[in-house]
Amino acid sequence: MKFLDLTKVYIRSGGGGSGCVSFRREKFVEFGGPDGGDGGNGGSVWAEAVDGLNTLIDFRYQQHFFAKSGQGGMGSQRTGKTGDDIVLKVPVGTEILDEDEETVIADLVTVGQKVLLAKGGNGGWGNLAFKSSTNRSPARANPGQEGIERTIWLRLKLIADAGLLGLPNAGKSTFLAAVSNARPKIADYPFTTLVPNLGVVGIDGAEFVMADIPGLIEGASEGRGLGIQFLAHVERCKVLLHLVDGTSNTITKDYRTIIKELEAYSDVLGDKPRILALNKCDALDKATITTRRKALEKASGGPVHVISGVAGIGLLDTLRALMAEIKREAPVEEGAPWQP
């Protein structure tokens, strides 16, 4: 399945049916009077978060969603049929943006959460509704209200408890495969991860979801590389795990590169709790590990975990530190439903 996390769609609610101008015509009924029915309401367009989806790829092949219009009213006081609604099924974590791609209409973060995007037009009144003591035979009816047409953006932000960050080849995919049920692509060249991966991690009888995004490089906030396209997927995370390649000769520079790009992307990511880990320690001797760990501690001003995803060294302590931060952080807030 291909991954798609941003797409434009065009929606239109149905127009209301016109009211009917009709008069009762029966044998032996001299003054039948008006009996025109009202038009049916137009169908509305909704969006609903459903389980089992993790991509917006379906909206690449169908981008136009038009609800049915209401049926016109009929004689004998018959109301027209209401138009059918359309429901856009989207993954949990989908943001719905206005055409400017900035204004958030709704944020669907729980299964079953539903939002009205375009309300159907009301049906027009038939001439029966205009009958009064002074106008016994009205010969007019209302047209139906027009539907609403608009362009919206769907932006998916995967919901995970912890996010993995690091330069390309920092060992993020190997770490995710070692601690979870995920099976991301792993190879000895940069940018093996092209789309975000999710894995469920179990620790001390509890579970949490971890997200791995493509590696960041210097200048990512200006559009270089792939990672900047997917940083939105770790905005919802409660804690970030920053992996630094222990075999690199510029570990402090590598660390500062990621921090700089996070802060340049958004204040939200820059202020998130972070846990720092020196990875690939199985390829280093004890003296080198000590030296590079101290250098990272000095650069970050906090503790550094020494781990190896391949050898399984230090993973348990790191996962427990992540779980402690996840429990400390408040749950993700639901976006308020919006109606026009």
138 labelled binding-site residue = no
Domain 1-156 has CATH 2.70.210.12: yes
Say if residue 327's pLDDT is above 70: yes
303 labelled binding-site residue = no
247 labelled binding-site residue = no
pLDDT in tens, 106-148: 999 899 999 999 999 999 999 999 998 888 889 999 999 999 9
| pLDDT mean across residues, the chain | 84
215 labelled binding-site residue = yes
194 labelled binding-site residue = yes
Q: What is the structure's pLDDT at 184? A: 55
Q: What is the structure's pLDDT at 2? A: 63
**What residue spans define the domains of the chain?**
1-156, 162-328
307 labelled binding-site residue = no
The secondary structure of the chain, three-state, reads CCCCCEEEEEEECCCCCCCCCCECCECCECCCCECCCCCCCCCCEEEEEECCCCCCCHHHHCCEEECCCCCCCECCCECCCCCCCEEEEEECCEEEECCCCCCEEEEECCCCCEEEEECCCCCCCCHHHHCCCCCCCCCCCCCCCCCCEEEEEEEECCCCCEEEECCCCCCHHHHHHHHECCCCCCCCCCCCCCCCEEEEEEECCEEEEEEECCCCCCCHHHCCCCHHHHHHHHCCCCEEEEEEECCCCCHHHHHHHHHHHHHHHCHHHHCCCEEEEEECHHHCCHHHHHHHHHHHHHHHCCCEEECECCCCECHHHHHHHHHHHHHHCCCCCCCCCCCC
173 labelled binding-site residue = yes
Say if residue 338's pLDDT is above 60: no
205 labelled binding-site residue = no
Q: What is the pTM of this model?
A: 0.72
Range with top average pLDDT, 174-178, 189-193, 225-229: 174-178
Q: What is the structure's pLDDT at 123? A: 94
166 labelled binding-site residue = yes
298 labelled binding-site residue = no
pLDDT > 70: percent of the chain: 87
214 labelled binding-site residue = yes
182 labelled binding-site residue = no
pLDDT in tens, 274-323: 999 999 998 889 999 999 999 999 998 989 999 988 888 989 999 999 99
pLDDT bucket at 202, cuts 50 / 70 / 90: confident
pLDDT bucket at 150, cuts 50 / 70 / 90: very high
Look up the CATH number of domain 162-328.
3.40.50.300
191 labelled binding-site residue = yes
Say if residue 334's pLDDT is above 90: no
281 labelled binding-site residue = yes
93 labelled binding-site residue = no
pLDDT-wise least confident of 16-20, 161-165, 304-308: 161-165
96 labelled binding-site residue = no
11 labelled binding-site residue = no
The more confident residue out of 181 and 228 is 181
Say if residue 333's pLDDT is above 50: no
127 labelled binding-site residue = no
244 labelled binding-site residue = no
170 labelled binding-site residue = yes
